[in-house]
Amino acid sequence: MDIITAKKVREMDDRERQRALLNLREELMMLYSMQTGGGLSDNPAKAKLLRKQIARILTVMNEEKR
């Protein structure tokens, strides 16, 4: 997985941001469902990383709304 920085998010157009946000949220839900099902995660910090990337995208989107 590639880490999405704020600089990369600002370079994206609105459609790319929406698509990235959707993909990250789907990946996070899959990870949560695997963890609740008793499966072991290969990277326990992945959920935190995904949440931070989602927050980065939402922050840039909210900045541009103003």
Name all domains of the chain by residue range, CATH numbers in brackets: 6-61 (1.10.287.310)
Helix pair 14-36, 46-65: axis angle to 10 deg: 150
Task: Please tell me whether residue 9 adopts helix, strand or coil conformation.
Answer: helix
28-32, 41-45, 46-50, 56-60, range with the lowest pLDDT: 41-45
Model's pTM, two decimal places? 0.85
- Report in angstroms the alpha-carbon separations of 26 from 3, 11, 31, 41, 61: 16, 22, 9, 16, 19
Please give the mean pLDDT across all residues of the chain: 90
